[in-house]
Structure 1
């Protein structure tokens, strides 16, 4: 007999925890790795998993996939790194950000748009490091941004503050040395 939810005994009306969302994300990651999901399907389902409120919201996301046996690690959603070294790199559209995403620009330009990215969980940390480079990040219009970074002989402009609604918390860390870091909110749709 197949369980209604990803884990036997779960009540579909029960509120989902971050651990529940992570377990579903592991199943989705395994399905992507084995070719059962395309990257677009994976991103769409992962976005829905991290937006799920109840266990019942998670059911349709894994119903057509086999369960993952063994440990459910999520290296792809835990840490990401994007770097521009002596080059210009633009990252945007639909992609999966990590809970800890390091963005690094060294003698280059890195432009990252998080407005369509899948943000895993309710809080992510962006470690922004720029040495003699430029780093520009656009965050979703409903994001709450906390700046904890430093600058040395650099420009560092982080806007975003607190907003109304339930958008993600984006904690900005890292340092700029002889460079430029700009973080701003997308225009309200």
Structure 2
């Protein structure tokens, strides 16, 4: 059975929760997330979360497939996932339409606005395009890469649709990050020609989101430590109260025995 965009996103939410809880390291999380967005069938999604808690008791939709019914619904996911409001990142004047690297390189990263059509040229050089914090001039953008003995690196955030159409001669275009995006998310088409060069496309979470995930993980650990401390304190308090009760009880018996013996000696 073919996987839907909603099913991929539910699996991605489970992975993000696992990262925040410390069940996955950053490298393994990124690897599984990439596999999630590359998955074509439900069977490819199942192994990615088989060893993670899915909270199936929260699944009340009644219409999910058995394979992915354990994944959390978007409404129960932490607020972090709700910060990706794509409509707020679409529109505005493009800040750069060209990039040229001749025996060198160029970079476009941070808060920049991706044009409807961006053209990169690399001759014994190349460039790096990071779209994780970028705005988009339009919902559909095209990145054209032309390289001779050079290459380009394109980084996209989770949720953005990616389609790779380029042609490589003694080189190639990496299509491993291709996949559908969230509803309303931008769609990036990567095309062009490379000769003795290549174009790499990867998905990575934005730095701000990564920091928030780490903060969530620290808070979770602190909460667990606090609960353990409170549990130990309760057990100690119960033990002290129990010991004091028994000690007082035995002391009372001892006093009673002394009184009896004293009465007998008289």
* TM above 0.5: yes
CA contact (8 A) 1:84 1:109 kept: yes
Aligned position for 2:181: 163
- 1:64-79 matches, within 5 Å, as 77=94
* 1:141 aligns to 2:154 (yes or no): no
**Number of residue pairs matched by the alignment:** 120
* 1:91 aligns to 2:108 (yes or no): yes
Aligned position for 1:21: none
* 1:81 aligns to 2:121 (yes or no): no
Q: For the pair shown, which has the larger CA radius of gyration, 1 or 2?
A: 2
* 2:197 corresponds to which of 172, 179, 187: 179
Q: Quote the offset at 1:156 in angstroms.
A: 1.8
Segments of structure 1 that go 5 or more residues without pairing to the other structure are 1-46, 52-73
1:130-178 CA-partner distances (Å, limit 9, x unpaired) = 1100210101211111112111100321223113433211111111111
Aligned position for 2:143: 126
CA contact (8 A) 1:131 1:177 kept: yes
* Larger proportion of helix: 2
Q: SS of 1:77's equivalent?
A: coil
Aligned position for 1:152: 169
* 1:114 aligns to 2:114 (yes or no): no
Q: Quote the offset at 1:79 in angstroms.
A: 7.4
CA contact (8 A) 2:143 2:188 kept: yes
* 1:50 aligns to 2:68 (yes or no): no
TM-score between the two structures when normalised by the length of structure 2: 0.41
1:108-127 CA-partner distances (Å, limit 9, x unpaired) = 13111011111112100111
1:186 to 1:82, Cα distance in 2 relative to 1, 3 A: same
Segments of structure 2 that go 5 or more residues without pairing to the other structure are 1-86, 210-266
TM-score between the two structures when normalised by the length of structure 1: 0.56
Tell me the distance in 1 between the aligned counterparts of 2:202 and 2:127: 14
- Please tell me the root mean square deviation across aligned C-alpha atoms, in Å: 2.4
